[in-house]
Amino acid sequence: MTAAGIARLAGVGRAAVSNWRRRHADFPKPVGGTETSPAFALYDVEQWLRDQGKIAEVPARERVWQQLVGHPAGAAAALRQVGAVLLLVHERPAAWQQLRAAADDTELTGVLPAMLESVLTARLGPEHPVRGLTRAALARSAALVRAAGDLAATDGAAAAYAFLLGRHLDANPRQYTLTPPGPAALMAELARGDGPSATVLDPACGAGGLLAAAREHAAGAPDAAPPALHGQEADPDLAALTALRLALEAPGAAIRVRAADTLRADAFPQLAADAVLLHPPFNERNWGHDELAYDPRWEYGFPARTESELAWVQHALARLRPGGTAVLLMPPAAASRRSGRRIRADLLRRGALRAVIALPAGAAPPNNIPLHLWVLRKPGGPTPPVPQLLVVDTAAAAPKPEPGAAPAGGRDKLDWQTVRATALDAWRDFDRDGGIEEVPGVRRSLAAIDLLGDDVDLAPARHLPPPAAAGGPAELARVHDRLTATLARTTALTPSPAPDATAPQPPAARWPLTTVGELARSGALVLRAGGPGTAGPEGGPAVLTDHDVIGGLAPSGTLPETPTGTPPEEPVLVQEGDVVVPVLGGGTTARVVDEATAGAALGRNLTLLRPDAAALDPWFLAGFLRGTANNRQASSYASTATRLDVRRLQLPRLPLAEQRGYGGRFADLAAFETALRLASRLGEQLVQGLHDGLTDGSVAPD
C-alpha cells in the first residue's frame, strides 16, 4: 500500500504520514514502489498503527480494497470477481449465507463458478461480459471473496461495489474518461422527449455514467417502469465492471451490456431505442473507415477518416426508433470542420439535428475546451421534422462577476444550475413550439437553409449576437460612470514620494534586521504552506491561488475531489490579517488577507504568515517583504523557475508603534494599487463594449 493508502487507514492527511516516517525510526520500511512513491506491507503498517494507538481496526472496506489492489491477477480481474459475488449476495442472499457458513475455501470456490454464472445469466443475459470466473481463478481469491461477502452484510452489496469501483476509477484517471454527473443528468433530461424512455442505449458506455443517469431520471418520474438499459464497450474489463454496476444499482431493470467495438461489431443491430446517450471517443483515426465504407448506417453520408464523431452520430440515429431522441457530447470542432460539412448539411435538411448546446469549459473532460451537446431526433415520428436548429450558449448565460468583484468560489464556481436551466428551458420551449424567443448571446432558433453555407458551421457562438449588445448604451454608460469615479479615486490615492522631494534626503536607514525564519522560531508568527486539502461531500471553500495573489483577484480555485471512500483532507484556511506570499514567479508580491478573502483555502505555491498581533503589524510585514532587494537575496536561481525561500526574507526590528506607522503607509499603497487594477479592468470593458456596440449598430458614432 502507498502513503495515500496509509492516510486513508488512519483517517489523516498524507502530510501526517510523511511526518511519521521522519519522526519514528520504527515506522515500517518500504517493500516496493519507487523512491517518490514507496509501497509498504499492509500487515506491517496495520501493526505499527495499532502499537501507536492511531487505529483500532482496519475498516472492512479498506481491507477488501487492499486485497483487491494486491491481487495477482490485477485489480480489474479481482474487481470482476468481487462484483459477481456481490451480485450473488444481492440477488440470492439466503443461498450465499448457507454456502458461506457451511463450506471451507475449497468447497466455496468449487461451487461458486456455477452459482455465479447462473445469477449473471439471469440478470445480464447469456452473452454477459463477466468472464474468467473459473474455479482456478476463484481459488486464488477465496479470502477476498469471503471478505467481499462480509462487507456486503454491513454496507450493502450495491454500496460496497460502488465504493470499490469508484476507488478503482479514481486510482486510474488516465485509463478511463468519465462523464461527470452534472452533464450526464442533463443529457438524460434532454433525451426524455414526451415521456420516460422505455429503452436506453449507450454504444460507448465506459463506466456506465450515462446509463445510470438515465435510470435515476426515470426513477424520479411517477409510475414509470425501470428502463431497459443497453450498453456496449470496447474494453472487456470495463464492460464487465459496468454491467455489474448497473445490475446492482438498478434492481428490476433489464440490463444488457456487451464487450465489443461498436462501429465494427455492433452488438444490438436490431435495437430501436427510445433514447441514445453517448459520450464518444474523440479524434479517433482508427474507427473502421476502410472496412465500413458500405455500411448501411451511413444514411447521411460516409464520414471522412478524421470525422469519427460523425460516424457515432449516424450510429446513434440508426439505433433509434422513429421519433426517438439521441444526445451526444461532442468536441466543438465537429460543428465546423470542413470535412464534415456535407453530413452536417444533410442532418439539417432532413431535420435530424435539432439543437447544438455549448457547455462552459470545465463541464466535462477534456476540461480545457467548451464541449457541445448535440440533440438529434430520428425522422419518421408522428410529428414531421421542422427545418430549424436551436443554438444555445450556456456559458454566456452564467452570471459573470463585475470587474473587481469576487467570483462565485468553491465547487459551484461553474454555476452548473444556471447552465442546466438555460439548456433545458431553451430545449423544452423549442421542442414544444418549433421556435423560440431569441436571447442575445444565449439562445436562438435558426432556419436550416440559413446555415447551409460553404462550411455549414453550427458553433453556437458564430450565430448569437454578443451579450454585451443586450445592455446597449445604458450598460455602457454605467461602466463609464464607474470608470470615471475609479479614476478620480486613483487621483486622490496617488501617493507623494515625500513632503518636499527637492530637499536633501537623509541617508538610507540601517536598522537591525531579522528574518521570517527567526520570527517563526520565536513564535512572533506562524508559517504554513499551501496545497494539501480536498473537498468534502458538501463541497469546500474557494481556493486562493498564486494567480489570485499576484493579480489582486478574489479566490478563484477549487479544492480537488476527495477520492471515493477517503475522508476529506482539511485545507489551510486563511484568516483576516494573514500575509500570503507566492513562492514561484511572484516577484515582489505579498498580500494581506481582508475580510472578503478570509475563509478561503490556501492554494499551492503559496506560503502563509500569521503574525502575532502583539508583536507584528501585518501591513508592516507585507510591505517590507515586497522590497525588491529583499526578494532578490531570498530567491533561488538554481532552476528556470525562480523559487522564493520565505524564511530568508528580512525585515527590520522596530517597536510596534513604528511598525504601525509604516503599515499605514503600506496600506495606502495597497489601496492605490487596487484602484489602478479596477480602473484597468473597467477601461477594457468599456473599450470592448463600445467596439461591440458600434459594430452591431446599438451605439451610433455620435
| Concatenated DSSP letters of 626-644 | T-HHHHHHHEE-SSSS-EE
Taking 70 as the threshold, does the pLDDT of residue 505 lie above it? no
Top-confidence range, 224-228, 588-592, 641-645: 588-592
d(CA 413, CA 360): 11
Q: What is the pLDDT of residues 400-459, one digit of tens each?
A: 555 555 444 443 457 788 999 999 999 999 998 888 888 888 999 999 998 988 789 999
d(CA 184, CA 309): 18
pLDDT band for position 36 (50/70/90)? Answer: confident
Rounded mean pLDDT, 588-603: 91
Mean pLDDT check: name the lowest of 139-148, 350-359, 419-428.
139-148
Q: What is the pLDDT of residues 284-293, one digit of tens each?
A: 999 999 999 9
Q: Could you tell me where the DSSP H helices lie in 28-180?
A: 42-51, 60-69, 75-91, 93-102, 105-124, 135-139, 142-155, 157-171
d(CA 623, CA 588): 10
Inter-residue contact 325 to 375 (CB < 8 Å):
yes
> pLDDT value at position 412?
43
Q: Which of 556, 580, 559, 555 is nearest to 569 (CA)?
A: 559
Mean pLDDT check: name the lowest of 12-16, 456-460, 537-541.
537-541
Inter-residue contact 610 to 576 (CB < 8 Å):
no
| Concatenated DSSP letters of 447-509 | EGGGG-SSS----HHHHS--THHHHHHHHHHHHHHHHHHHHHHHHHHPPPS-TTTTSPPPPPP
pLDDT band for position 109 (50/70/90)? Answer: confident
Higher pLDDT, 480 or 326: 326
pLDDT band for position 631 (50/70/90)? Answer: confident
pLDDT band for position 534 (50/70/90)? Answer: confident
Higher pLDDT, 508 or 119: 119
> pLDDT value at position 325?
95
Rounded mean pLDDT, 557-561: 81
Inter-residue contact 410 to 599 (CB < 8 Å):
no
pLDDT band for position 399 (50/70/90)? Answer: low
Q: 491: Cβ–Cβ under 8 A, 6 or more apart, which residues?
A: none
Q: What is the pLDDT of residues 212-265, one digit of tens each?
A: 999 998 876 666 678 999 999 999 999 999 999 999 998 888 999 999 999 999
Taking 80 as the threshold, does the pLDDT of residue 37 lie above it? no
Rounded mean pLDDT, 2-21: 81
Sequence letter at residue 47: Q
Sequence letter at residue 558: T
Q: 484: Cβ–Cβ under 8 A, 6 or more apart, which residues?
A: none
Q: Which of 191, 195, 198 is nearest to 228 (CA)?
A: 198
> pLDDT value at position 378?
94
Taking 80 as the threshold, does the pLDDT of residue 193 lie above it? no
Q: Round the CA-based radius of gyration of the chain to a whole number and report it.
A: 31
In the chain, % of residues over pLDDT 70: 90
Q: Which of 78, 86, 110, 117 is nearest to 237 (CA)?
A: 78
